[in-house]
Amino acid sequence: MTQRTRIVIGVAVGLIAILTGLVLLELFGTILLAITVAYVLTPVQGWFLTRGWRRRSAAIATTVIALVSALAVVTPLALVAYRYRGEVAAVVSQLPEAITIEALGFTGTLEMATVIDTLVAYVPTILLQSAVALSAFSIKFALFAMVVFGLLVGHERARAAILAPIPPTYLDFVGAMEERARETLVAILVLQVGTAVGTFVLAVPTFWLLGYDYVVVLSAIAGALQFLPIIGPIVLLLALGAVHVMAGEVIAAALVVGVGGLVIGWLPDLLVRPKLVQYTTGMSGSLYFVGFIGGITSLGMIGILAGPLFVALLVEGIDQLAAQMDHTDRTPSTETVGDGQGPTADAGTTGGQNARGRGEPAGQ
Would you say residue 280 lies in a domain? no
Q: What is the pLDDT of residue 347?
A: 42
Mean pLDDT of 215-244: 81
Q: How far apart are CA 359 and CA 155, in angstroms?
A: 41
Does 345 score more than 70 pLDDT?
A: no
What whole-number distance in Å separates Cα of residue 14 and Cα of residue 165?
10
Domain contains 155: yes
Amino acid code (one letter) for 26? E
Residue 229 three-state SS: coil
Q: Is the pLDDT of residue 344 over 60?
A: no
- Weakest mean pLDDT among 132-141, 185-194, 294-303, 343-352: 343-352
Please check whether residue 59 lies inside any domain of the structure. Answer: yes
Give residue-wise pLDDT tens across range 34-58: 888 887 788 888 888 888 888 888 8
Region 134-149: what's the mean pLDDT? 81
Please state which of the ranges 77-81, 176-180, 329-333 shows the lowest mean pLDDT.
329-333
Task: Give the whole-angstrom CA distance, residue 177 versus residue 192.
Answer: 22
DSSP one-letter code for 332: P
Predicted pLDDT at 340: 45
265 is a domain residue: no
Measure the CA–CA gap between 25 and 338, rounded to whole angstroms.
58
Q: How confident is the model at residue 94 (pLDDT cuts 50, 70, 90)?
A: low
Nearest-angstrom CA–CA distance, 303 and 291: 8
pLDDT value at 98 more than 70? no
Task: Please compute the mean of the pLDDT values over residues 337-341 and round it to a whole number.
Answer: 46
pLDDT at 187: 82
Q: What's the mean per-residue pLDDT of the chain?
A: 75
* Residue in 174, 244, 190 with CA at minimum distance from that of residue 212: 244
Select the more confidently predicted residue: 300 or 105: 300
The conformation of residue 27, written as its DSSP 8-state character, comes to G
Q: What's the number of domains the chain is made of?
A: 1
pLDDT of residue 312: 84
What is the rounded distance in angstroms from the CA atom of residue 112 to the CA atom of residue 245? 12
Confidence band (pLDDT; 50, 70, 90) for 350?
A: very low
Q: What is the pTM of this model?
A: 0.63
pLDDT higher than 70, residue 95: no
**Closest residue by Cα to residue 63 from 144, 156, 162, 157:** 144
Highest mean pLDDT among 52-56, 68-72, 106-110: 52-56
Least trusted range by pLDDT, from 66-70, 148-152, 228-232, 337-341: 337-341
Work out the pLDDT band at 364, boundaries 50, 70, 90.
very low
Q: How confident is the model at residue 353 (pLDDT cuts 50, 70, 90)?
A: very low
In a domain, 308, yes or no: no
Q: How many Cβ atoms sit within 10 Å of the Cβ of residue 93?
A: 7
Q: State the Cα–Cα distance between residues 112 and 247, nearest whole angstrom.
A: 11
* Res. 83: pLDDT tops 70: no
Q: Cα separation of 325 and 68, whole Å?
A: 47
Question: Residue 102 belongs to what domain range?
Answer: 1-165
Residue 160, pLDDT score: 78
Q: What percent of the chain has pLDDT over 90?
A: 0
pLDDT of residue 122: 67
Question: Is it the case that residue 73 has pLDDT exceeding 80?
Answer: no
* Percent of the chain topping pLDDT 70: 70
